[in-house]
Amino acid sequence: MSKSSHDRKSKIEYWQEIPWKRAEKVLFSLQRRIYQASQRSDVKAIRRLQKLLLRSFFAKAIAVRRVTQDNQGKKTAGIDGIKSLTPKQRLELVYSLNPLTGKAKSVRRVWIPKPGKDEKRPLGIPTMEDRARQCLVKLALEPEWEARFEPNSYGFRPGRSCHDAIEAIFNALRCKTAYVLDADIAKCFDRINHKVLLEKLNTFPAMRRQIKTWLKSEIKDGKELFPSKEGTPQGGVISPLLANIALHGLETMIENWIMTKKIKDLSGTTLSKSNKKKSISIIRYADDFIIIHKDLDIIREATENTKAWLSQLGLELKPEKTRVCHTLKMHDKEKPGFNFLGFNIRQYKTGKHHANKTPKGDRKLYTLHIKPSKESYLRHYRDISQIIERYISAKQRNLINKLNPIIRGWSNYYKYSVCSKIFQKIDSLIFWKLKKWADKRHPKKNWKYKKPKYWKTIGGDNWVFSDGKYRLHKHKKNYDESQTKTRKKGNKRQGEKFIKVKNTYSPYNGDTVYWSSRLGKHPDMPTSKAKLLKWQKGKCPHCGLNFKHEDVMEIDHITPRKAGGGSSYKNLQLLHRHCHDEKTREDLKLIAEYQNRKELEKQHNKSIKWFNDLFSQEKWKWINDTPVLISACDKSHVSEEPYEVKVSRTVLKTSGSGDRFA
């Protein structure tokens, strides 16, 4: 591999020349081998393969492409002020990229507002070069750790999302009421003990040195890890992985501990070992986690154990955000239920006539509701109303186009939960806000003027905020679309069901069929993208590779709109963001050609029109089965229109010669 990458060095002179398909294949096969070596705990092989990957030209090229072309935060400059690189600079970076120098440039501090608060949180933005180096190191480390990570850790891992964590909670609480430890780790990333983390990392010396340097430069700027549903934090590319490594082992510790306990079920029989393990659930998303068990004593003891375990890492639970509650009833002045990742999870009592049965046949007098948390929908509504206020004098279509992606994103995130009523409520709040907006715009006009101006009747709905061309999306509609017949009995979770990731499955296991089928069903995936993905069989038509979870996808017009392409599904395709970049460059040529052609066509049409006009004006006469222009005899026309002369002369000639021979 290293030899072939050396050969490549002398060949590739342009960024566009890099054979991406081959590069992806080479990288993935290396990662898969690291994953497999890690599964059989072959430390020697892991390190050998990781070093190979870090030296590989292809892996370096992909790392550079990820940070320069794919990453959402690609336009934020580091301390060197570099925001974007030209293709030439990118290639130079690939050649000069040396991940393990043991050095790091300091990071630029950026303050971004915390959601729902006036506080701001700092982000450390590394330089472009450091980002690429971190990305490369992550490519090498991630498969090793993916093979080891615990099944119920869901944050910042390939192929896993918030919805998998919520589904795990749903499975745990579907058939039982329980006590819950709802915990939050205080300033997780700031306080992790570096020594313990590096020991846990257990890697070769050069790598260890490099990561130590990065940890230091990050800590200096107070980088805080924050589980955001917007995606990975913009700071260090590698920091979420390091946080996951630090917190790795919590689940195993709790499981090992519960095996030593004596637990009896309702009938008084002692539980077997495997049932004991099943009786407790620990579900973690980055630094946010919950522990579920039906006995309060077990939860209390588990809390103490967790605290002790975390203290080894220099961490502690945040007292104001950590609580013990029950899922159904009041406990110790705590309201039933808890919030996790923007969802509220609690159980409600049901009457006997609505009682359902558990799979074991026991009757249960409660039902589980998972719905958007109050904080989440209040914040969402506040964001929307702020935008409406800001757009008081803007065009209606600009306001619609600003709000639609926000509404679509939010309602997609919650569409698998019990959201119907909340969605309806938000829609009506938005209506009143928009009415106020219209009143302010036309204070002297009455409602008869404003209603038809801003609201239209579309498809039986009289109150669609629309300017005729663009329409405001409704939360409720998004929910209705996701409704199918798979209504779950007993537990109120209507609509389509989200399917949780399999136990310890990782994309590095190479089961592409499983992973690509999961991709299309992801709730964050808009319907249009999911449809295209299905038609394309999970492949990107530009590079021919299967889409993966970390890939950024964009919708492309196959024939660009500026070159006469339409917006129907037939003319759309889903591409990688980096493939889209390339396609757009090719499109520019196409558009230029199209416009050229259109210009020619225009001229051609003009001459055809002239020709047709001419002929329609003229009178025809049949002479010996040949059409002959009457005006052909008119000499005055001949001098004006040379084209006609040619036509009429030949006609006359043939008719003449025909006469002679006849």
Given the rule CB under 5 A, which residues bind Zn ion? 540, 542-543, 576, 579
* Residue 132: CB minimum distance to Zn ion, A: 20
* Residue 550: CB minimum distance to Zn ion, A: 13
* Residue 345: CB minimum distance to Zn ion, A: 38
Backbone phi and psi for residue 295, each to the nearest 5 degrees, phi listed first: -95, 130
Residue 412 DSSP SS3 = helix
Q: CB-wise, 301 or 581, nearer to Zn ion?
A: 581
The answer to whether 238 touches 129, Cβ cutoff 8 Å, is: no
CA angle 296, 344, 112 (to 5 degrees): 115
How far apart are alpha carbons 276 and 259 in whole angstroms? Answer: 6
The answer to whether 108 touches 73, Cβ cutoff 8 Å, is: no
* Residue 644: CB minimum distance to Zn ion, A: 56
* Residue 546: CB minimum distance to Zn ion, A: 10
Q: CB-wise, 575 or 629, nearer to Zn ion?
A: 575
* Residue 539: CB minimum distance to Zn ion, A: 8
Amino acid at site 177? T
Q: CB-wise, 67 or 169, nearer to Zn ion?
A: 67
β-pair type (363-364, 356-357)? antiparallel
* Residue 420: CB minimum distance to Zn ion, A: 38
How far apart are alpha carbons 418 and 10 in whole angstroms? Answer: 59
In 234-317 the beta strands, taken as DSSP E runs, fall at 281-285, 288-293
Residue 148 DSSP SS3 = coil
Q: CB-wise, 476 or 576, nearer to Zn ion?
A: 576
Find, among 3, 126, 23, 7, the residue nearest to 544 by Cα. Answer: 23
* Residue 508: CB minimum distance to Zn ion, A: 20
* β-pair partners for 623: 626
* β-pair partners for 620: 629
How far apart are alpha carbons 50 and 143 in whole angstroms? Answer: 10
Judged on CB neighbours under 10 Å (0-12, 13-18, 19+), 490 is middle
End-to-end CA distance of the chain: 85
> Within its chain, how far is the Cα of 450 from the centroid?
38
Give me the residue whose beta carbon is nearest to Zn ion.
540
How far apart are alpha carbons 141 and 122 in whole angstroms? Answer: 26
Q: CB-wise, 293 or 576, nearer to Zn ion?
A: 576
* Residue 87: CB minimum distance to Zn ion, A: 17
Q: CB-wise, 525 or 647, nearer to Zn ion?
A: 525
Residue 252: other Cβ atoms inside 10 A: 11
Q: CB-wise, 280 or 579, nearer to Zn ion?
A: 579
Return the residue matching tokens 């009421």: 177
Q: CB-wise, 113 or 544, nearer to Zn ion?
A: 544
Q: CB-wise, 543 or 558, nearer to Zn ion?
A: 543
